[in-house]
Amino acid sequence: MTTTAVIAGWDVPQLRGAVVTLGVLTDRLEPWRGRLDELGRQLGAAGSWSGPAGTAAAAALVELSTITSGVGGALAASLADLTGLTAAADEAQELAAEALAVAAAGGVGLDGAGRAVGVPAPPHPAMAPDQLADVEAARGAAVLAEERAEGARVAAVRAAACARAAREPLLRLGAVDVPVPDRFADLVDRLLPVRAPQVPATAGPRGAAAWWAGLTAAGQLQAIDGQPGAVGALDGLPAWARDRANRANLAAALQHLPPGSVGHDTARVVQRTLTGLVDAGSVAQLLQFDPATGLVALSVGDLDTAAAVGVLVPGVETTVGDDLPGLVGDARDVAAAAAVAAPGLAVATVAWLGYRTPRWFTSVSEHTSRRGGRDLDSALDGLAASRAARAAGPAPRTTVLAHSYGTVVTGEAARAPGRLAADAVVLLGSPGTGTGTAAGLEAAEVYGAWSAADPIAWSGWYGAGPFDTRFGDVPLPTEPTQGHTQYYDRDRPTLAAVGAVVVGPWAPR
């Protein structure tokens, strides 16, 4: 039996200090796991440490990360109950100390069950006034001491319940009442997922990011290897994961699709483009790959670590087969211009062919722009959610670089539910955005470039745009002879300004 005296003697400050220390340790585990995951990915990447030793080292890092995730999850689950334990123990000790003090002041005692002992009999009418007062004081003290002792007992029971609840997550680690595993592999076996996690199909970018962040490193790799199609298409996941999944999808397409088919031709163009980027020393990430629909998104630079991101959204009749190398070339040139504007800043640019671009004769239809706008909005939300869920430093500055019909798609993305996840929008050769004004694009900064030599830019097919002085954008420099396809040309002034916008706010000089 835990007596009132025992409860009063609990060392609650030591308990509180231990719980605080455990909380600090738990908070440090997640960043450490992130560093392990990053090192493991670097070891597994092409050009890094290879051979049996490299493979073993990468596998060991995955196991270490899995252990870290399992231990961190168990500690976090226990901490909530340990915090409750501290509060309940503090309350129990305070009440027990009060009970003992009140009993002592009244000249009575408390037994092991918290009942008052040595309580005088009820006062007799013949007692002198001072005797009567002493008896009543002692009996009152006994009642109050028993109340405090009962409160201490109830709080102690609550503390014990919290302690049992805190113990449960640790049991799964083998950290309570069982021998510590002799071999590291035994602990790995205890924590590795038995089944590959099911990829959520309808969680949305934020839900997908939260699901991914909750997986262990081993669980993430199992999801990629087991369901590369689902992982590669899921907005909200880190770029490295989607790249790994889509590289597997690309290899499968090259191996299994009939040569000469549209899907196989798409895969060949993507593979050649990736190879060219790697040969040029660039980081390339395949964020989206769907050979059946011809949808591809490819980054130049590491999206997971970039401080500034530019997303290039092309216009009508842009296809993977005919235009992906050129669009990726534009992305490289924008990244180079950004590097000139902000030397040393980590920049990534995305060639985003994530919607079915229309033909000229179907571009007047709103169906394509609406669907493309929803897809662009999801892609931008996914980039933001992925970084936020992993607490991977500050969010990157994100700029949408839309050309021609891509500006119409961007306008639809802004009208999708929620705010557009972009800091800036650049409109190049826009036939109008459908938003009426620059403010309708939901970005803090909106820039535009148009030229008298580009009739599409002043056509107004989709309403007001940068050609209209009332639109509200910041004009970027152009030349009078600049045509509709020349905004990214290296010998035109627009490219340098676009690169500067990618890394920060821009103003005319």
Could you write out the DSSP letters of every residue in 373-422? HHHHHHHHHHHHHHHHHTT-SSPPEEEEEEETHHHHHHHHHHHSSS--S-
Structure tokens belonging to residue 195: 């089944």
Does residue 337 or residue 393 have the better pLDDT?
Answer: 337
235 and 153 assigned to the same domain: no
The backbone torsions φ and ψ at residue 408, rounded to the nearest 5 degrees and listed phi first, read -65, -45
DSSP state of 41: H
Among 190, 225, 260, where does a domain finish? 190
- What is the band of 114 on the pLDDT scale with cuts at 50, 70, 90? confident
The reply to whether 325 falls in a domain is yes
* Residues 100, 148 share a domain: yes
Among 64-73, 263-272, 370-379, the range scoring the smallest mean pLDDT is 64-73
Same domain membership, residue 422 and residue 494: yes
Are 373 and 402 in contact by the 8 Å Cβ rule? The answer is: no
Length of the chain counted residue by residue:
509
The count of domains in the chain is: 2
Judge whether residue 480 has pLDDT over 60.
Answer: yes
Q: Is the pLDDT score of 105 beyond 90?
A: no
Higher pLDDT, 476 or 91: 476
d(CA 238, CA 246): 12
Asked if 115 and 252 sit in the same domain, the reply is no
**pLDDT at 59 (0 to 100):** 65
Output the pLDDT for position 178.
45
Asked whether residue 290 is assigned to any structural domain, the reply reads: yes
User: Higher confidence at residue 168 or residue 189?
Assistant: 168
Does 254 share its domain with 353?
yes
Q: Quick one: tokens of 170? A: 């640790």
Q: Which two tokens stand for residue 273?
A: 């483009």
Whether the per-residue pLDDT at 488 is higher than 60: the answer is: yes
Confidence at residue 201, expressed as pLDDT on a 0 to 100 scale: 77
Domain end, chosen from 147, 173, 190, is at 190
Say if residue 222 is in the same domain as residue 180.
Answer: no
- The pLDDT assigned to 184 comes to 45
Could you tell me if 179 and 244 lie in one domain?
A: no
Q: How far is the CA of 60 from the CAs of 56, 173, 240, in angstroms?
A: 6, 19, 19
Residue 430 has pLDDT above 80, yes or no: yes
Helix (H) or strand (E) segment spanning residue 285: strand 284-290
Residue 320 forms part of a structural domain:
yes
Q: Say which residue the tokens 């002034």 belong to.
A: 493
DSSP 8-state symbol, 477: P
Helix (H) or strand (E) holding 101: helix 51-105
Burial of 382 (0-12, 13-18, 19+ CB in 10 A): buried
State the pLDDT at residue 215.
82
Q: In CATH, what number is assigned to the domain containing residue 292?
A: 3.40.50.1820
Q: In this predicted structure, what is the pLDDT of residue 158? A: 86
- Residue of higher predicted confidence among 354 and 140: 354
Mean of pLDDT values over 242-268: 94
**210 in any annotated domain:** no
The verdict on residue 209 lying in a domain is: no
Q: Please give the structure tokens belonging to residue 354.
A: 């994530």
Spell out the SS3 assignment of 177-210: CCCCCCCHHHHHHHHCCCCCCCCCCCCHHHHHHH
Interatomic CA distance for residues 395 and 304, integer angstroms:
10
Q: Are residues 304 and 396 in the same domain?
A: yes
Does the residue 471 lie in any domain?
yes
pTM listed for this prediction: 0.69
3-state DSSP assignment of residue 472 = coil
Which of 140, 155, 190 lies at the terminal end of a domain, its last residue? 190
| pLDDT value of residue 79 | 77
Q: What is the mean pLDDT of the chain?
A: 85
Do 363 and 262 have their domain in common? yes
430 and 337, same domain (yes or no): yes
For the segment 268-292, the average pLDDT, to the nearest whole number, is 95
pLDDT band at residue 173 using 50, 70 and 90 as cut-offs: low
Residue 208 within any structural domain of the chain: no
Q: What share of the chain is helix, strand, coil (3-state, %, to 5)?
A: 55, 10, 35
Same domain, yes or no, for 284 and 136?
A: no
**Listed residue (145, 148, 153) closest to 102, CA to CA:** 145
Q: Is the pLDDT of residue 185 over 60?
A: no
Q: Do both 284 and 186 map to the same domain?
A: no
Detail the DSSP E strand segments found in 404-475: 424-428, 445-449, 474-475
Residue 170's domain spans which residues? 4-190
Domain assignment present for residue 200? The answer is no
For residue 473, pLDDT over 90 is answered with: yes
